[in-house]
């Protein structure tokens, strides 16, 4: 910088991106729905230095500045997936993947293929099966799996992660017998003679999961790195993740090695003791924007697919069943008050309207007490940003309550692509009209965040965008309550600024504006202008996190 100049020279950009169709995510002040677009963007260190016209941005070019030509491609803020299970996604690659198996035969064939390469007596673990996709929509049994293997213990989780099936060998090792009692919050399905059929619901699965040996450290790390590659390839620059504390320590290791290619905010388990939670929270500074801990996740209920989501009225296709609530209200409120009182953000998995109601009641009381006691929220303010994860079945009154309490609806529009096959049967038309109610949430002014629930659904954000704007199946043949559609601009906002708000990071993430983190994606098409069906086939050309390219298509 020379003193002779009347204006100091701005520091030079590290990288300048030119000739782009850059969707900044920043609303144009003069217009309601328009989003500012620019041609060029300058990056310095891990931040956006400036955006604007090429002639302006090129003034930031120095002798060392790298210039990248975007060839008029569409650029948008990186996807912030507000709800996923990264480690689980990785382990799924080490296990039998049953996602999309179209029949009991295919289900068994995939298990057999794994059995053939396994060590003698080795556990065969897998997940992703969905009997509602099979010609005969019956749950598999232990006898179905015994036909494939009686020597290997086999344990297979359903796609929703709420029920599982075990073979006879696994049940023996887990000591699930005729005499086993039903655990609280779970159920062992039995035949007419009282024998377990192999189906274990909710907490009943713990008898088996408790005896499965854990994968080695190296295997865990390999699995997690594979899942991280998936994220980079799909343009997910931030992940709000529900894995274990052990997995978090592996993330730290990966970060130390400079290989963490997505920012991670790790959830802690709501049920852990306050001491444990505080110790885990203090493991890293909350200001760390690469890897830190975030909200506490608790479970109000199960899932609609397995009919364990808690409903106010019984299932339309199962009139004696209203699902399985996971807490008693008074105890839940007590625990939540304690945790919000200690400055934790809390998010509850709630899928059915009964689960949502439990969460809202408890949030109301916990928030009131925290305000009275002037408790500071995770960001130092008094806005606690309590969240409900999924919020699939809601009543209009509940949606009004979300707004009143400023509760965030953290939803996954891609779930609808799978669930529309049976959601109407489960719920009946009256309830279904207010399910997956994205338009209603936005109309009421409820903050909306989008994610995928990966690996329950694939991590691609483009299925979610497609579902949000069409409410149609991927083959374009079915439609589900189109009045709950939202616009592409709204869907992108939920996936970027909305998710950032849900993790207290809207000051750093979600838009491409000077000073924000340089997290963005270059796509092969402009998702705001192609026909919706074309959105499904979108490819990511480049993913940039903190100014560094972490993925480039070849």
Smallest distance from Zn ion to CB 451, Å: 8
**C-alpha distances in angstroms, 88 versus 374, 459, 521?**
38, 12, 25
**Within 151-210, which residues bind Zn ion (CB under 5 A)?**
none
Smallest distance from Zn ion to CB 338, Å: 22
Residue 142 is encoded by which pair of tokens? 């232990």
Beta-bridged to residue 549, according to DSSP, are 544
Smallest distance from Zn ion to CB 389, Å: 5
CA distance 258 to 470: 39
Task: Find the angle CA(491)-CA(231)-CA(244) to the nearest 5 degrees.
Answer: 105
Which range of residues in 133-141, 226-234, 452-460, 473-481 is near Zn ion by CB under 5 A?
452-460
The smaller minimum CB distance to Zn ion, of residues 48 and 350, is found at 350
The smaller minimum CB distance to Zn ion, of residues 410 and 505, is found at 410
CA distance 287 to 152: 47
The smaller minimum CB distance to Zn ion, of residues 349 and 509, is found at 349
Which range of residues in 97-105, 432-440, 445-453, 482-490 is near Zn ion by CB under 5 A?
445-453
The smaller minimum CB distance to Zn ion, of residues 266 and 453, is found at 453
Which range of residues in 89-97, 146-154, 360-368, 453-461 is near Zn ion by CB under 5 A?
453-461
DSSP per position, 106-128? HHHHHHHHHHHHSPTT--EEEEE
The smaller minimum CB distance to Zn ion, of residues 355 and 547, is found at 355
Smallest distance from Zn ion to CB 151, Å: 33
CA distance 449 to 240: 11
The smaller minimum CB distance to Zn ion, of residues 52 and 458, is found at 458
**Within 253-292, which residues bind Zn ion (CB under 5 A)?**
none
Task: Find the angle CA(222)-CA(227)-CA(231) to the nearest 5 degrees.
Answer: 145
Give me the sign of the Cα torsion angle 452, 160, 440, 325.
Answer: negative
Sheet with 15-18, side-by-side order of all strands: 47-52, 40-44, 15-18, 66-69
Q: Phi, psi at residue 77, to the nearest 5°? A: -55, 145
Which range of residues in 347-355, 360-368, 520-528, 537-545 is near Zn ion by CB under 5 A?
347-355
Task: Find the angle CA(161)-CA(163)-CA(167) to the nearest 5 degrees.
Answer: 115
Smallest distance from Zn ion to CB 347, Å: 10
Are 368 and 374 in contact by the 8 Å Cβ rule? The answer is no
In the shown chain, the binding pattern of residues 306 to 345 toward Zn ion, with x for contact by CB under 5 A and - for none, equals ----------------------------------------
The smaller minimum CB distance to Zn ion, of residues 348 and 402, is found at 348
The smaller minimum CB distance to Zn ion, of residues 453 and 503, is found at 453
Are 212 and 178 in contact by the 8 Å Cβ rule? The answer is no
Smallest distance from Zn ion to CB 302, Å: 9
Nearest alpha carbon to residue 241 among 87, 448, 351, 386? 87
CA distance 102 to 485: 29
Smallest distance from Zn ion to CB 349, Å: 4
Smallest distance from Zn ion to CB 406, Å: 21
Smallest distance from Zn ion to CB 461, Å: 16
The number of C-alpha atoms within 13 Å of 46 and in the hemisphere containing its C-beta is 10
Instruction: By CB under 5 A, name the one of 81, 144, 453, 526 that touches Zn ion.
Output: 453
Smallest distance from Zn ion to CB 84, Å: 7
Residue 170 is encoded by which pair of tokens? 């696994």
Residue ranges of alpha helices (H) inside 257-348 are 274-281, 329-341
Tally Cβ neighbours within 10 Å of residue 173.
16
Smallest distance from Zn ion to CB 162, Å: 9
Residue of minimal Cβ distance to Zn ion: 349
Total residues at interface with Zn ion (CB under 5 A): 2
The smaller minimum CB distance to Zn ion, of residues 89 and 427, is found at 89
The smaller minimum CB distance to Zn ion, of residues 267 and 438, is found at 267
Residue ranges of alpha helices (H) inside 312-453 are 329-341, 353-372, 396-405, 414-419, 423-432, 438-443
The smaller minimum CB distance to Zn ion, of residues 20 and 455, is found at 455
Instruction: By CB under 5 A, name the one of 88, 349, 401, 463 that touches Zn ion.
Output: 349
Nearest alpha carbon to residue 454 among 495, 488, 412? 412
* Residues lying near Zn ion in the complex (CB under 5 A): 349, 453
């Amino acid at each position: 910088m020379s003193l002779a100049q009347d204006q100091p020279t701005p520091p030079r950009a590290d990288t300048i991106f030119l000739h782009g169709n850059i969707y900044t995510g920043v609303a144009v002040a003069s217009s309601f729905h328009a989003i500012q677009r620019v041609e060029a963007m300058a990056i310095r260190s891990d931040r956006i230095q400036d955006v604007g016209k090429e002639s302006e941005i090129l003034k930031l070019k120095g002798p060392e500045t790298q210039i990248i030509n975007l060839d008029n491609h569409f650029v948008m803020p990186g996807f912030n997936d507000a709800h996923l299970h990264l480690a689980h996604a990785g382990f799924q690659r080490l296990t039998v993947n049953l996602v999309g198996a179209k029949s009991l035969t295919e289900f068994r064939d995939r298990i057999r293929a794994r059995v053939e390469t396994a060590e003698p007596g080795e556990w065969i673990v897998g997940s992703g099966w969905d009997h509602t996709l099979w010609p005969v929509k019956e749950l598999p049994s232990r006898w179905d799996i015994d036909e494939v293997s009686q020597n290997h213990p086999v344990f297979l989780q359903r796609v929703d992660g709420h029920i599982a099936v075990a073979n006879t060998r696994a049940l023996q090792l887990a000591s699930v017998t005729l005499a086993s009692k039903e655990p609280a919050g779970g159920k062992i399905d039995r035949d007419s003679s009282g024998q377990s059929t192999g189906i274990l619901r909710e907490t009943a699965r713990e008898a088996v999961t408790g005896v499965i040996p854990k994968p080695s450290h190296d295997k865990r790390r390999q699995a997690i790195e594979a899942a991280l590659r998936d994220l980079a390839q799909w343009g997910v620059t931030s992940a709000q993740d529900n894995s274990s504390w052990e997995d978090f320590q592996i993330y730290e290791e990966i970060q130390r090695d400079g290989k963490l290619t997505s920012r991670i905010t790790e959830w802690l388990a709501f049920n852990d003791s306050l001491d444990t939670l505080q110790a885990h929270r203090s493991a890293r500074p909350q200001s760390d924007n690469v890897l830190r801990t975030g909200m506490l996740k608790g479970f109000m209920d199960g899932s609609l697919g397995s009919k364990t989501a808690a409903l106010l009225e019984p299932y339309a296709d199962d009139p004696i069943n209203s699902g399985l609530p996971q807490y008693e209200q008074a105890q839940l409120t007590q625990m939540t008050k304690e945790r919000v009182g200690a400055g934790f953000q809390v998010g509850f998995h709630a899928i059915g309207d009964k689960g949502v109601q439990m969460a809202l009641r408890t949030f109301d009381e916990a928030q009131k007490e925290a305000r009275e006691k002037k408790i500071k929220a995770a960001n130092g303010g008094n806005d606690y940003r309590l969240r409900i994860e999924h919020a699939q079945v809601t009543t209009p009154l509940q949606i009004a309550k979300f707004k009143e309490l400023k509760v965030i609806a953290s939803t996954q529009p891609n779930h609808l692509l799978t669930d529309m096959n049976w959601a109407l049967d489960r719920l009946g038309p009256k309830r279904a009209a207010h399910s997956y109610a994205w338009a209603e949430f936005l109309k009421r002014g409820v903050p909306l965040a989008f994610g995928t629930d990966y690996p329950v659904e694939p991590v691609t954000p483009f299925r979610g965008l497609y579902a949000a704007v069409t409410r149609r199946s991927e083959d374009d043949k079915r439609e589900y309550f189109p009045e709950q559609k939202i616009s592409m601009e709204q869907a992108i906002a939920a996936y970027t600024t909305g998710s950032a708000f849900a993790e207290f990071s809207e000051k750093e993430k979600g838009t491409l504006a000077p000073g924000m983190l340089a997290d963005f994606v270059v796509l092969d098409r402009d998702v705001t202008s192609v026909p919706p069906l074309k959105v499904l086939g979108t490819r990511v050309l480049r993913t940039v996190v903190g100014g560094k390219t972490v993925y480039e298509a070849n």
